[in-house]
């Protein structure tokens, strides 16, 4: 008889609010389209705090099977002046959530930095719960702790 392994536990780490401009169409094929959504700034609060720097973007692929692939790439300057590179990938499956099309989705953010005090960001696994609005996307970032 096999037993079910225990569920991983999550611990809240910080919130990223990324301000965005309207999406820019890049490619359209049959029933799929790709948009780049410019990231224009924002704020990070919690275990790290700082500013989302302008110049990043979110590439959003609207797939012909009803799913969405999202990949955001941007960077943060912390209040201490450290730089954190962010790559955040998510996928919204059709019917995965009644709110998915309206903007709620899960993601897997990854971080890179040379800051000694922030190396924990590069050594741990994180899950993001994101919600997209017209002018910004809010991502609550949770560390997987067990």
pLDDT, position 132: 85
The domains of the chain are located at 10-144
Whether the predicted pLDDT of 28 surpasses 50: yes
pLDDT category of residue 1 using cuts at 50, 70 and 90: low
> DSSP string spanning 11-64?
EEEEEEEEEEPPPEEEEEETTEEEEEEEEEEEEEEESS-EEEPTTEEEEEEE-T
Quick one: 98 exposed, middle or buried, by C-beta within 10 A (0-12, 13-18, 19+)? exposed
Instruction: Summarize pLDDT for 109-128 with one digit per residue, the tens.
Output: 999 999 999 999 999 999 99
pLDDT in tens, 91-106: 877 665 544 445 678 9
Percent of the chain whose predicted confidence (pLDDT) is above 90: 71
Measured CA angle at 78 (ends 9, 24), to 5 deg: 85
Rounded distance, CA 134 to CA 146, Å?
Answer: 35
Give the residue-averaged pLDDT of 56-69: 88
Q: Taking 80 as the threshold, does the pLDDT of residue 141 lie above it?
A: yes
Residue 39 above 90 pLDDT? yes
Check if the beta carbon of residue 59 is closer than 8 Å to that of residue 70.
Answer: yes
Average pLDDT over residues 70-91: 96
What pTM was computed for the model? 0.88
The topology under which CATH files domain 10-144 is Porin (2.40.160)
């Amino acid at each position: 008889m096999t037993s079910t392994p225990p569920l991983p536990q999550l611990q809240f780490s910080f919130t990223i609010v990324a301000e965005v401009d309207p999406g820019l169409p890049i490619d359209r094929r049959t029933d799929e389209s790709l948009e780049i959504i410019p990231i224009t700034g924002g704020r990070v609060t919690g275990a790290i705090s700082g500013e989302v720097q302008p110049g990043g973007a979110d590439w959003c692929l609207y797939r012909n099977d009803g799913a969405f692939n999202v990949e955001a790439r941007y960077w943060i300057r912390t209040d201490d002046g450290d730089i954190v590179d962010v790559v955040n990938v998510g996928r919204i499956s059709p019917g995965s959530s009644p709110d998915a099309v309206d903007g709620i989705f899960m993601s897997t953010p990854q971080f890179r930095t040379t800051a000694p005090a922030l190396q924990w960001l590069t050594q741990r696994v994180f899950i993001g719960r994101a919600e997209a609005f017209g002018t910004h996307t809010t991502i609550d970032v949770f560390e997987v702790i067990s």
